[in-house]
Amino acid sequence: MLNLYELEQLATFARCGTLSRTAEELHISQPTLTRTMQHLEEAFGVPLFVHGKNRLALNDTGRKAVDCANALLSEAERAVLQVRQFDARLRTILVESCAPAPLWSLLPALSELFPDRTISSRLTELPLILGRVRDRTCEIGILPYPVADEAVACLPFVREELSVCLPPDHALAGCPSVTLEQLNGYNCLLKSDIGFWSDLCREKMPASRFLVQTAEFEFRELARTSTLPYFVTNLALEEDFVKGRTVVPVSDREANVTFHMIFRKEAEEYRKVARRVASDRI
């Protein structure tokens, strides 16, 4: 029976070239290594080495055995990695969302209800999320609309409404509400990593230019010191952040969405999470 550790010794011998160097690298004695080479020949049932005076070298069959050993070692490494990843998945709840705001209430609720599991999240392109839930790439998906799919459950759980923060003397500051079409042509501040909202703004405001900020501090400083419009959400409307600005609701249907949580129907334990968050948000 072949032994993975013995195969590793064979592969290391092929790389090092001598028994002494191989023994030194593997931190074993040279007699132990010699016995391993003898046992490998017995296991394969064919000669693998050319035996010279104080020297051992691979023959052609031995070099073939090394190729097979390397393939088996790589496959064993992949098997270990796959098993560990599978075990990690069993202990992890991965949420893929089209926008960041729904995660603010969902992730704490998941942590509270599933304290023995790791909660992980990432923003994902909108068209991919349903498929990732269906093929079990992630456990939970967040979409800005409901879906009808026989494999997944779909529950509304949080509503997000956009507004724009304008300087008091802005031409649109006196409006009770504005559309993205009305904002089209005005340059705006925009955060990075806002999911599908970024695509929506660029689609509806093609004549506008966006100053995109990746760091929260820089975004807040520009919001405080510049006259550029920027967007805020009802889910994180801070009084200090909008101080000195006029907050005008954006009336577009696409800018006022109810997020839906989707998960595979057999994962009924996630239904209580959606209900808990929804009780406070919708």
pLDDT (tens digit, 9 = 90+) per residue, 44-61?
A: 999 999 988 778 899 999
The pairing of strands 92-97 and 140-143 is parallel
Rounded Cα gap, residues 47 and 40, in angstroms: 9
pLDDT at 214 over 90: yes
- Per-chain mean pLDDT for the chain: 91
The pairing of strands 188-191 and 210-213 is parallel
CA angle 156, 158, 159 (to 5 degrees): 105
pLDDT tens for 56-101 read 899 999 999 999 999 999 999 999 888 887 776 777 899 999 999 9
Rounded Cα gap, residues 126 and 24, in angstroms: 54
Helices (H), 45-176: 60-90, 101-113, 129-134
Rounded Cα gap, residues 232 and 262, in angstroms: 25
Nearest Cα to Cα of residue 99 among 248, 177, 200: 200
- pLDDT for 29 equals 93
User: Average of pLDDT values for 150-163?
Assistant: 93
Nearest Cα to Cα of residue 170 among 128, 230, 235: 230
Those residues with Cβ within 8 angstroms of residue 147's Cβ, 6 or more apart along the chain or in another chain: 130, 154, 260, 262
**154-163, 210-219, 265-274: which has the minimum mean pLDDT?**
265-274
